[in-house]
Amino acid sequence: MTKRLLILEDGTVFTGTAFGADLDVTGEIVFNTGMTGYQESITDQSYNGQILTFTYPLVGNYGINRDDYESILPTCKGVVVREHARRASNWRTQMTLDEFLKAKHIPGIAGIDTRALTKIIRRHGTMKATMASVGDDLDHLKDQLRATVLPTNNVEQVSAKTAYPAPGIGKNIVLVDFGLKHSILREFSKRNCNVTVVSHNITAEEILQLAPDGVMLSNGPGNPEDVPYAAEMIRGIQGKIPIFGICMGHQLFSLANGAKTYKMPFGHRGFNHAVREIATGRIDFTSQNHGYAVERDTLPDCLLVTHEEINDRTVEGVRHRDYPAFSVQFHPDAAPGPHDASYLFDEFLELIDAFKQNQKN
Catalytic residue IDs: 247, 331, 333
- DSSP symbol at 337: S
Distance (Å, whole) CA 31 – CA 115: 10
Three-state DSSP at 333 gives coil
220 annotated ligand-binding residue: yes
Cα–Cα distances in Å, from 251 out to 150, 211, 243, 317?
21, 24, 13, 10
252 with 289: CB under 8 angstroms?
no
For the CA atoms of the chain, what is the radius of gyration? 21
Neighbouring C-alpha atoms within 13 Å toward the C-beta of 145: 27
For every residue of 300-316, DSSP letters joined together read: -TTEEEEEEETTT--EE
The CA distance from 309 to 136, in Å, is: 43
Rounded to 10 degrees, the C-alpha dihedral 69/73/75/76 comes to 40
Does the annotation place 264 within a ligand binding site? no
- 3 by DSSP, 3-state: which? strand
Cα–chain center distance at 234: 20
Q: Is 46 marked as binding a ligand?
A: yes
d(CA 330, CA 189): 20
Q: Is 16 annotated as a binding residue?
A: no
Three-state SS at 250: helix
**Is 78 part of any known ligand binding site?**
no
222 known member of a binding site: yes
Q: Are 51 and 80 in contact (CB under 8 A)?
A: yes
Q: Per the annotation, where are the binding residues for L-glutamine? A: 46, 220, 222, 248, 251, 289, 291-292
Binding-site residues = 46, 220, 222, 248, 251, 289, 291-292
